[in-house]
Amino acid sequence: MTDAVSLRTPQQALAALLERFAPRTLLLVGTRFPALDAFAKAHPQTHIEVAAPGPLPAPLAAQRFELALLVDCLEHLPKRQGLELLGGIRNLNASRVAVLADLAACGWHDTDFFSLALSASEKFTRDEQVLSLFTYDLHDYKQVPDWLNARFWANPENFGKYWW
């Protein structure tokens, strides 16, 4: 992502993200937003769980979701607690994560998200406020190197020839 400001609104970007992935199970940490309500109305089969900013309640922490959204969340937590929450959700609760945050309000930097393997997707401005959208997708996290396949492992040309 460049430092260019998106022509879309945060609501449009989140709505596009929801439509793209169309999750059957969704975790929202923070506050509900209009795009989510519209998505829920259009996709009644989607199971949405909502949690307040902070550590996840035990029943939610034990579940796996197709998508986790953190909206208006990190601004209300100490940085360490936010890092633990975001890292825990990324590692244990969701294959895809999207975070919409006001970096100035939460005291985070782009590099804090990069250190958790999130990518900067879009940046939005309204008056003096700047919101940033960061995303993580386990399936696109890292490209598979060309050498990482069975052809290069354990000397397959020696199978059946030598016994140790």
Query: Does some domain include residue 4?
Result: no
> Which residues have CB under 8 Å from 87's CB, separation 6+?
116
Question: For residue 95, what are its two tokens?
Answer: 């294959």
Which amino acid, one-letter code, is at 2?
T
Question: How many domains does the chain divide into?
Answer: 1
Torsion of CA 65, 133, 43, 24, to 10 degrees: -10
Query: Does some domain include residue 67?
Result: yes
Alpha helices in the chain (DSSP H): 10-21, 34-42, 58-61, 79-88, 103-106, 110-114
Q: Identify which of 105, 107, 69 has the alpha carbon closest to the alpha carbon of residue 90.
A: 69
Query: Does some domain include residue 163?
Result: no
Query: Does some domain include residue 48?
Result: yes
**Domain holding 138: CATH number?**
3.40.50.150
Given a cut of 60, whether residue 97 has pLDDT beyond it is yes
For residues 124-131, give the mean pLDDT.
91
- pLDDT band, residue 51 (cuts 50/70/90): very high
Query: Does some domain include residue 25?
Result: yes
Given a cut of 80, whether residue 17 has pLDDT beyond it is yes
Domain that holds residue 38: 10-158
pLDDT digits (tens, 9 = 90+) for 23-33: 999 999 999 99
**Global confidence as pTM:** 0.84
Query: Does some domain include residue 130?
Result: yes
Query: Does some domain include residue 3?
Result: no
> Residue 140 has what pLDDT?
85
**Between these two residues, 83 and 163, which has the higher pLDDT value?**
83
Q: How far is it, in rounded angstroms, from Cα 48 to Cα 132?
A: 23
Which amino acid, one-letter code, is at 106?
C
> Residue 143 has what pLDDT?
77
Q: What percent of the chain has pLDDT over 70?
A: 90
- Return the SS3 of 121: strand
What is the widest separation between alpha-carbon atoms in the chain? 72
> Residue 158 has what pLDDT?
67
Query: Does some domain include residue 2?
Result: no
pLDDT digits (tens, 9 = 90+) for 67-93: 999 999 999 999 999 999 999 999 999
> How many residues are given for the chain?
164
